[in-house]
């Protein structure tokens, strides 16, 4: 795993890293639905929206893009989604995202009994630069030269022959005037092309300057007595100047941080505490058993406009003497850590814990083809009896999908891979409700037999994540976190995604 590759490729991520698709699975009123949104990656651009009725009772789907500060009245009219051929339970539409920032895709579904609505957040950001292919570029250059020389020739002929009487031939003066006119026209056209190129380069530079990069952070290790304290500071100029709005809680935490050791032998899901003296800094008392080495840091934050992003950094944890501080940050009780032997492989459908319980991935395969993959997990005791799941940070479970070369990091929940706080903020903005960051809520995301999400405890040990779409081949690891009897259990699964169309 190369740090350079990690930083370059991760710089195009938001809320998750390297895979821009947004997946939502939940209820719109009484209708269980699944929504997949593929952002365009360019602004303006067309977002592709796919809606599936999980119980087959939806007959009509309407979609609408709404920028966070526009409201429903300031947004384009609803678009009627088309039913996919020979698949009456699936609908799709295309929506233009015209500006940078936080959008909601407002989805209205109608069935036999009622009309219901749901809001799915999506970030409209530029994440890529599209290069014109060589053939198209060559064709356009050829056509431009053809037009250029054609226009110059027309001007020359016009000056040389347009004032002559029929049957007359141009003399030397006319020919000289025509040649001079052609030369002047040629240089005027070249000047226009150069000016146009400069103008276009300026537009392109402005666009490229808006390519998304997460807020810059600085991470340091400090000491308080025998404890090591991680200090994460947001140093980005846009944050410091107030361009980025304040951060709001998601699942009751201002920041969700993941520390992943370079060799994947340590995984820690932690929640730094806001520094009492600065809203730019967050402090974390590191677990005492966290092994030394290089760590990649991923920190999920959500802004009060619904905009969310993943902050990136690296840190080297060692026994080298560090600066001293005079306080010990409180430890969040929801912090968790999972250690495994160096270079371990978990190529199996069952992960066993020290107490004999185990987490089973029903659809697990060592090699999986690119595309959507179902993710249904069950926690069993040593006698293969289901254990009662408890909410872990207001959710039925948390998961991290990680490509082992560091180019993908996706935080998933039973309801999808988006920020729940972002969904709630955008819903309240749509409804014209004053947003109160302290009242943001999340659903546990447990799935009952009829396909709907419920908020009670689950006794059958099952937690379901929406099918996830793997778009790139490679080696992956998934950490799945559930809670039972007050203990957070982290299961680990390794697998390989293969491209069926790749040449062997």
Q: Residues 140, 145, 148, 149: is their CA dihedral positive or negative?
A: negative
CA distance readout (Å), 455 to 389, 441, 442? 12, 12, 10
DSSP 18: S
Q: What is the DSSP string of 209-250?
A: HTB--PPPEEEEEEEETTEEEEEEEE--HHHHTT-SPPEE-B
Binned average pLDDT, 10 residues per bin, the chain of 504 residues = 36 55 86 89 86 91 91 90 86 90 90 87 77 86 92 89 77 86 92 90 74 86 91 92 87 91 95 90 91 94 88 91 88 93 92 95 94 93 93 89 92 86 81 65 54 61 90 94 94 94 70
Per-domain residue ranges for the chain? Answer: 21-124, 134-209, 217-498
CA distance readout (Å), 245 to 307, 375, 435? 9, 35, 13
* SS3 assignment, position 106: strand
Cα 17 to Cα 6: distance, rounded to the nearest angstrom:
10
Contacts of 360 (CB under 8 A, 6+ apart): 349, 350, 377, 378, 380
Structure tokens at 111: 């069935």
Write down the pLDDT at residue 435. Answer: 63
Cα 151 to Cα 22: distance, rounded to the nearest angstrom:
50
Structure tokens at 241: 């100047």
Q: Which secondary structure element, helix H or strand E, spans residue 180, and what is its range?
A: helix 172-209
* SS3 assignment, position 463: strand
Q: Report which of 51, 200, 65, 64 is spatially closest to residue 124, judged by C-alpha positions.
A: 65
- CATH no., domain 21-124: 2.60.40.1930
Structure tokens at 377: 């997990």
CA distance readout (Å), 229 to 248, 283, 333? 23, 7, 16
Write down the pLDDT at residue 476. Answer: 96
- What residues pair up with 497 in beta bridges, in sequence order? 368, 474
Cβ atoms within 10 Å of 179's Cβ, excluding its own: 13
Write down the pLDDT at residue 439. Answer: 58
């Amino acid at each position: 795993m190369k740090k350079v590759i990690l930083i370059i490729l991760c710089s195009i991520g938001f809320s998750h890293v390297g895979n821009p698709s947004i997946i939502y699975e939940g209820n719109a009123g009484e209708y269980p639905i699944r929504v997949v949104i593929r952002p365009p990656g360019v602004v303006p651009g067309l977002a592709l929206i796919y809606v599936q009725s999980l119980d087959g009772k939806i007959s009509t789907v309407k979609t609408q893009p709404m920028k966070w500060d526009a409201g429903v009245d300031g947004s384009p009219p609803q678009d009627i989604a088309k039913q996919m051929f020979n698949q009456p339970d699936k609908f799709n539409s295309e929506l233009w995202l015209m500006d940078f920032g936080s959008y909601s895709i407002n989805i209205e579904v109608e069935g036999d009994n009622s009309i219901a609505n749901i809001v799915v957040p999506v970030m409209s950001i530029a994440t890529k630069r599209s290069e014109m292919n060589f053939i198209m570029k060559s064709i356009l250059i050829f056509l431009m030269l053809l037009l250029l020389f054609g226009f110059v020739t027309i001007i020359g002929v016009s000056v040389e022959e347009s004032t002559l009487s029929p049957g007359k031939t141009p003399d030397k003066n006319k020919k000289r005037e025509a040649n001079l006119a052609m030369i002047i026209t040629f240089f005027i056209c070249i000047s226009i092309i150069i000016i146009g190129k400069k103008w276009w380069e300026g537009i392109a530079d402005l666009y490229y300057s808006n390519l998304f990069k997460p807020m810059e952070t600085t991470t340091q290790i400090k000491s308080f007595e025998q404890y090591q304290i991680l200090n994460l500071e947001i140093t980005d100029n846009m944050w410091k100047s107030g361009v980025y709005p304040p951060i709001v809680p998601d699942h009751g935490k201002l920041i969700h941080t993941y520390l992943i050791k370079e060799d994947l032998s340590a995984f820690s899901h932690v929640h730094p505490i806001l520094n009492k003296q600065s809203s730019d800094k967050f402090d974390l008392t590191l677990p005492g058993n966290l092994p030394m080495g290089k760590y990649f840091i991923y920190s999920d934050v959500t802004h009060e406009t619904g905009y969310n992003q993943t902050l990136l950094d690296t840190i080297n944890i060692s026994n080298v003497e560090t600066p001293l501080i005079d306080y010990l940050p409180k430890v969040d009780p929801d912090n968790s850590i999972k250690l495994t032997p160096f270079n371990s492989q978990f190529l199996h459908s069952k992960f066993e814990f020290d107490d004999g319980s185990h987490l089973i991935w029903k659809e697990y395969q060592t090699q999986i083809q690119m595309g959507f993959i179902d993710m249904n997990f069950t926690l069993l005791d040593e006698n293969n009896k289901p254990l009662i799941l408890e909410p872990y940070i207001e959710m039925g479970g948390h998961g991290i999908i990680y490509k082992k070369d560091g180019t993908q990091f996706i935080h998933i929940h039973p309801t999808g891979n988006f920020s729940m706080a972002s969904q709630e903020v955008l819903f309240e903005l749509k409804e014209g409700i004053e947003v109160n960051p302290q009242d943001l809520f999340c659903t546990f995301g447990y799935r009952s037999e009829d396909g709907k999400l419920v908020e009670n405890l689950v006794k059958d040990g099952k937690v379901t994540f929406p099918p996830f779409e793997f778009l790139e081949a490679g080696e992956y690891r998934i950490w799945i976190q559930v809670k039972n009897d007050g203990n957070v259990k982290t299961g680990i699964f390794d697998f390989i995604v293969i491209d069926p169309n790749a040449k062997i």
